[in-house]
Chain A
Amino acid sequence: MPISGEPRDFTFNGRTVRGYKGDTIATALARDGVKSFSRSMKFHRPRGLYCGSGRCISCVMRVNGVPGVRTCGVPLEQGMIVQTERGFPTTRFDMLSVFDSVFRRQFDYHSRFIRPTFITPFYQYAVRHLASSNRVPDSPGVFPALERKSCEVLIIGRGISGSVAQARIQKAGVRSIIIADRQVGDVSAPPSTAFGFYESGEVGIQVGSGLQLVKARSILLATGRAETGLPIVNGDIPGNMLPEAIRQLTSRGISPGARAVLVGRNELRDRVRRQLEAVHSSIVAEVQNASSVVQVLGGRSVKGIKYSEGRTPKTVRCDLVIQLGSLVPAVELAQQIGCELRGSGSFWTVRVDAEGRTSVPGVYACGGITGLVREDERISGGEAVALSMLRNRGGP
């Protein structure tokens, strides 16, 4: 998503920051050099832009008086009021990070604060106020009316296989189609995220700030695979990112860091390398096996990484750690619909027959969620399921 150059100024914790049309709040802040977006729940560790796809809460801030906003998914608008919500006195310098030092390995709060009992009300008060600092929204919001719709075909996901299927179905003249696609961080079209399957047979879709409930004669699940991170030591602090966050920054010409280390290995590695190259970030090391990582070094953000290469311990200075974790089939909707799942390696995928039909009549699936990995297979899978859906029009 190229930056058009049209400036969009907003305030961040009271100071004016320049962003541009085409930015999300997170990318504008990243360009400005902001690293600490929030502080974690128990230990008040700094967190920054991490997943870039609205699937974590590391980038969450208060926007125009509304708490808990995933800044990686919100298009930047002129005059937005953005504030961090956690940390005392500030998110950048948070005294409550003392909890990180006091509770050095874990903090199971169900086994604490049990005695003496006369202090219980104070413990509860303190813990309640420390657990969440997301203050109630400043004002009642205004939302578009909930809409109910019906259509012949609902396609959920417009990745590689979903878009091929869509094209094929539209080419055959089917008009009554609704497409839902998350498009997080792509500000060209409002994202429409399918968020639930309900008893009535309706699929809930979030379009902008409003909701739609869609009843479809047939549903195609093409929700693809989701990126996940790696449980490496200190893999949570700012400067740790997943490939989607890298894509969002580099596609806007923003460098995620000068010296990057890739940890782990998945199919997105080559794409990540190309993207880093385009913004002149150097890859200073690649640690293919995440278990070789001893720890990520840093305080408020990544400063380096310690790992072992064979028997040799190595310490490398870096400001960016890219976690290439597993790409996990996004089967949430399939599970809610009641589609049978089938194990595939370490993943659960949607079981389909040769025609792309799931175990639920009228529900089809293709692409990554059926366990396909190779791009050519996902493309042909999209074609095949579209043809199957067209053949079965008028029946399940």
Chain B
Amino acid sequence: MVVRKSFICLCEDVTVEELRSAIRRGYTDIEDIKRITGIGTGPCQGKQCLHVYREILAEETGVRIEDMPLTTLRPPIVPTSFGAWASRDRDQEVDR
């Protein structure tokens, strides 16, 4: 059996409990807690967790969800290979 855990961020294995600990330490800003816990900083870059993160953060800090901002959603929205960026000119076959 796995140990009972509920996750806010699957990429970085951040549990809801860890999020609550950060809030108990006195942090409430969505950007600060992101950096303390690592929520949204893994390979999916917050795609799976941002909405639930906003909801839980709003609930735990007493802020209205309408007032809970998004974090900055930077490019690339999906990971892009260095080779694809660097590839020039020559006709090349796709290699997997």
Contacts and interface: CB of A to CB of B under 8 A. Distances in A.
A and B touch in the complex (CB under 8 A): yes
Nearest to A335: B73
Main secondary structure of the interface of A (DSSP, over half): loop
B30 interface: no
Interface stretch (A47-55, A163-171, A365-373): A47-55
A298 B80 contact: no
Contact of B5 (A146, A234, A346, A347): A234
B15 A106 contact: yes
Contacts of B21: 106, 108
A145 B83 contact: no
Given A229-B52, A332-B77, A335-B70, A211 B10 contact: no
Nearest to B11: A57
Contacts of A295: 4
Given A80-B96, A106-B18, A233-B6, A57 B43 contact: yes
Interface string B1-27: 111111110111111111001000000
Contacts of B50: 328
B8 A299 contact: no
Given A68-B43, A105-B5, A196 B75 contact: yes
A162 interface: no
A46 B1 CA distance: 11
A314 to B, nearest CB: 17
Contact of B84 (A42, A206, A325): A206
B42 A57 contact: yes
Residue from B8, B48, B89, B94 with most neighbouring chain A CB atoms (10 Å)? B48
A230 B50 CA distance: 12
Interface residues of A, number: 78
Contacts of A51: 48
A235 B6 contact: yes
B90 A145 contact: yes
Contacts of B13: 40-43, 45, 107
Contact of A206 (B4, B55, B80): B80
B77 A143 contact: no
A146 B88 contact: yes
Contacts of B79: 68
Given A55-B44, A206-B84, A231 B52 contact: yes
Interface in B39-90: 42-44, 47-48, 50-52, 54-56, 65-66, 69-70, 72-81, 83-90
B3 A101 contact: yes
Nearest to A191: B78
Contacts of B89: 145
Contact of B3 (A40, A100, A209, A232): A100
A307 interface: no
A335 B77 contact: no
Contacts of A226: 47
Interface stretch (A58-66, A214-222, A350-358, A386-394): A58-66
Given A63-B96, A144-B94, A233-B5, A196 B84 contact: no
A353 B85 CA distance: 36
Interface in A64-98: 64, 66, 68, 77, 80, 97
Nearest to A213: B85
Interface string A227-246: 01111111111000000000
Interface of B: 1-8, 10-18, 21, 36-37, 42-44, 47-48, 50-52, 54-56, 65-66, 69-70, 72-81, 83-96
Interface of A: 40-43, 45-47, 50-51, 54-58, 60, 63-64, 66, 68, 77, 80, 97, 100-101, 104-108, 110, 140-146, 193-198, 204, 206, 208-211, 226, 228-237, 295, 297-299, 325-326, 328, 331-333, 335-336, 341, 343, 345-348
